[in-house]
Amino acid sequence: MTRNEKIAAAQSRSTPPEILVQLVSDKDEGVRRSVALNVSTPPEVLAQLSRDKDEGVRWSVARNRSTPPEILAQLARDKNKHVRWYVAENTSTPPEAFAQLVRDEDKGVRLNVALNASTPPQVLAQLVRDEDKGVRWRVAGNPSTPPQVLAQLARDEDKGVRWNVAQNTSTPPEILLILMVDNDENISVIAEKNLLNRVHSVPRTS
């Protein structure tokens, strides 16, 4: 097969597993990356690719929603930050991996943890005091963030964080009422709009 044919086969969900097994040993990293991204790639092949010397292959495994949780947990400790970024972004990532990633020294990793709708509430709670306001901003906008965490973020010194709490559809009404009297007019307006949208969406009873 030519390189293009190999990549096409590696990307196809209908490619037989035995062909994907053959392609995993291809010397071309582009072929191996394509196999690593394929949601039909067998778990044992993804496990092999998670140890590939090419970082691009490993981050492709980290991006794959079909990658088994135990492999994602392993990749959460990868030396390459880009690999860890994609693990933090993957909605299939298990809780124990998030527990590792929330302490990552790289801001980009923590940003993806904060954005991921699959991040456990207790992990999001750990980010409420993150030194980077961008991380707190994303926690404030995450619909999975628990009410008690949103209550803390509603008092954040950064107005961008408070604005995101005000527009979050998961923010409880009592917190929106507090934000409606925020010193920043933009925050008070969006909080009021959020609250009114909920009132109008409640079906009327006859």
For 71-94, how does the pLDDT look when each residue is reduced to its tens digit (9 = 90+)?
999 999 999 999 999 999 999 999
Please give the distance of CA 190 from its chain centroid, rounded to a whole number.
25
144-180 burial: b if 16+ Cβ within 10 Å, else e: ebeeebbbbbbebeeeebbbbbbbbeebeeebbebbb
Point out the least confidently predicted range of 12-21, 95-104, 186-195: 12-21
Q: Is the pLDDT of residue 202 over 70?
A: no
Q: Is the pLDDT of residue 194 over 60?
A: yes
pLDDT averaged over the chain?
94
Indicate the SS3 state at residue 167: helix
Q: Average the pLDDT over 143-156 and give the result.
A: 96
Q: Is there a contact between 114 and 124 (Cβ–Cβ < 8 Å)?
A: yes
Q: Average the pLDDT over 112-116 and give the result.
A: 97
Q: Is the pLDDT of residue 204 over 90?
A: no
Point out the least confidently predicted range of 1-15, 59-73, 146-160: 1-15
Q: Average the pLDDT over 180-185 and give the result.
A: 96
Q: Is the pLDDT of residue 52 over 70?
A: yes
Q: Is the pLDDT of residue 123 over 60?
A: yes
Domains in the chain with CATH codes = 1-93 (1.25.10.10), 146-206 (no CATH)
Q: For position 1, what pLDDT does the model report? A: 83
The pTM is what?
A: 0.87
Q: Average the pLDDT over 183-193 and give the result.
A: 96
